[in-house]
Structure 1
Amino acid sequence: MDEWLKIIGALGGLEAIRFTVTFLANRKTNARKEKATADSMELQNLLSIIDNLNKQIERYDERLKQRDEKVDTIYREWRTAQAEAQNWMRKYYELELAFKDAEHNRCDRPDSECSRRTPPRRPITINNQNKEESNE
């Protein structure tokens, strides 16, 4: 036993004994504290990662919303251009029909002889409304 006391005295005396007893008595508690600290740090790290990912998702959502708005605008402009082109085509075909009607009703004789033509030429109606007016 003397030898043990000499060794303990050489290693730090009473403080070494106190440290050893405290270490052995509190090793599970200290391990839990260290684990809790590590878990807390890991949780903070995960929370910061989640926050960064949420910010990134918000940025991507905003960019997607802007792209959708651009696509919608382009489609609106395209539909407007299509409607305008169809309107011009309709006008062109109406004018072409009117021209064909005028060619059909053309009279190469002098003005005094054109009214005596048999059968008299009638203008071709383009719209249903014009047909109703000519029938009345």
Structure 2
Amino acid sequence: RGLARLISLLREGEVSGILPDQSPRAAGSAYAPFFGMDVRTMTLVSKLLQKSAAVPLMTWCQRLPGSRGFRLVVRRCEEGIADPDPVVATAALNRSVEACVREAPAQYQWEYKRFRHRPPGQPDPYRQAP
């Protein structure tokens, strides 16, 4: 019911926020490049966009120097983010996140293990080779 309500609200022009760089379960994901490494990426964003025709935007807060607060940054998402092909859509989603990270790489939450879920046969970068 929650997802149906969210789609309804998006169709009405309401706003929702999703953390797109979280590592999803296999059933709700596709592998797409993120900073050159294929990682599991959520398909939820593209599915919501396809069903609602909402306008996707990337937003993030940049910490200002000297504890002066934050600057809210809003950017358009990459083309293809609503593509029905999940590989195309998730690649566009990851490029959109990458563009935000590139603006202030030191402020990205690199300690989150974004590269943990890789395609079968690809090494886990968080484990040392024997």
Question: What's the TM-score bracket when you normalise by the shorter of the two chains?
Answer: under 0.3
Task: For CA contacts below 8 A with separation 6 or more, give which structure has more relative contact order.
Answer: 2
Select the structure of larger CA radius of gyration: 1
Larger % of helix: which?
1
Alignment TM-score, normalising by the size of structure 1: 0.17
